[in-house]
Amino acid sequence: MVEMTSKQRVLTAFARREADRVPIGYAANPGIDRRLRAHFGLAEGDHEGLRRALGVDFRSVGAPYVGPKRHADLPGRRVDEWGIRRRWIEHDTGGYWDFCDFPLAGATLAEVEAWPVPSPDDYDCSALPAQCRRYADRCVVLGGAGVGDIINSTGMIRTMEQTLIDLATDDEAGLFWIDRKVAVQLEVMHRSLEAAGGGVDLLWIGEDLGTQIGPLIGLELLRRHIRPRHQRFVDLAAAFGIPVAIHSCGSSSWAFDDFAEMGISVVDTLQPEARDMAPAYLKGRFGDRLAFHGCISTAGPVAGGTVAETIADCRRTLEVMMPSGGYAFAPTHQLQDNSPTENVVAMYETARTFGRYGT
């Protein structure tokens, strides 16, 4: 088969047709990211060089925040433009910035209304054209798992428990926060797509809907609060003629029929160890309506197995997911710092070698 550009490859796969090979995605924690750059002899910060070495087909673009500092710095904390706070947590193989303090946990409607939030004017959408030109031969992605995300991102500032209560009881303070954040993100996405002038290929949104053993919420609650808000992003993408991918952790296939009805094209993450998320089940049950991105577990052989076990796991997944297209090879989440470098290198070599069609 004729070699495709990354853009052609991804759009062909996400239209559920066979490309020259499966597209390849990448996400990693800083520790393993540094080790991979060292493995390939790349300079610190050479993110583009690493993606080319791994054969990654996706490149993300976005409007940087250039607005005023709306929330004060705090000792030992990272505070973003929304006032969400993070603290550094060490573990045996590295560390991560975890959410903390939850300043709106018990906030009333009046307190949520008074909380400073960014304006769409605070994001520099004029940066988009140059970003898109830089990655013209790649699949250019706008957004990510935190765009449109309601449960997870609200939990970051209001606690997960309070967020689920908000949704179940139609709490006015919680819903006001959700709609305020969605409105800003939606407008920034709209302005970004306009500024990009056709340079964006895929809009990415997110929503964590499952635990390891089952749904996080019920279908009625999804349809009451989550689906209508997500539909606004899907409709925006449709207006610009681009597909939508949605990230969802855990056992989330119970929502995939709704995703397809909404016009979502691609589902990301696909934790194979979670309930009803095995590759064969997903391909057989939804492969005629949805494309997939993920399936290579960051808690599986790539983290705890040998190189041979990693290769075998990746090959099994490819054999199930590749037929008739509709699959992009990628880790289920960010590759973790406990993943041996040699396993991750083998993972991507397997995708490039055994992910080709017609061989």
Dump pLDDT digits (tens) for 69-113.
999 999 999 999 999 999 999 988 888 899 999 999 999 999 999
Number of residues written out for the chain = 359
Q: What is the pLDDT of residue 100?
A: 98
Task: Give the pLDDT confidence score for residue 94 in this predicted structure.
Answer: 82
Q: Which pLDDT does position 92 carry in this prediction?
A: 85
The low-confidence residues of the chain, meaning pLDDT below 70, are: none
Domains and CATH numbers, the chain: 6-67+115-354 (3.20.20.210)
pLDDT at 89: 93
What pLDDT sits at residue 91?
85
Summarised one tens digit per residue, pLDDT across range 182-235 is 999 999 999 999 999 999 999 999 999 999 999 999 999 999 999 999 999 999
Tell me how far apart the alpha carbons of residues 225 and 229 are, in angstroms, rounded to a whole number.
7
Query: Could you tell me the maximum CA-CA distance found in the chain, to the nearest angstrom?
Result: 63
Residue 18: the pLDDT is 97
Per-residue tokens: 353: 């070698």
pLDDT at 48: 97
Q: What is the mean pLDDT of the chain?
A: 97
Q: In percent, how much of the chain has pLDDT > 70?
A: 100
* Three-state secondary structure of the chain: CCCCCHHHHHHHHHCCCCCCECCECCCECHHHHHHHHHHCCCCCCCHHHHHHHHCCCEEEECCCECCCCCCCCCCCCEECCCCCEEEEEEECCEEEEEEECCCCCCCCHHHHHHCCCCCHHHECHHHHHHHHHHCCCCEEEEECCCCCCCHHHHHHHHCHHHHHHHHHHCCHHHHHHHHHHHHHHHHHHHHHHHHHCCCCCEEEEECCCECCCCECCCHHHHHHHHHHHHHHHHHHHHHCCCCEEEEECCCCHHHHHHHHHHCCCEEEECCCCCCCCCHHHHHHHHCCCCEEEEEECCCCHHHHCCHHHHHHHHHHHHHHHCCCCCEEEEECCCECCCCCHHHHHHHHHHHHHHCECCC
> Quick one: pLDDT at residue 265?
98
CA distance 219 to 329: 29
Query: What is the pTM (predicted TM-score) of this model?
Result: 0.97
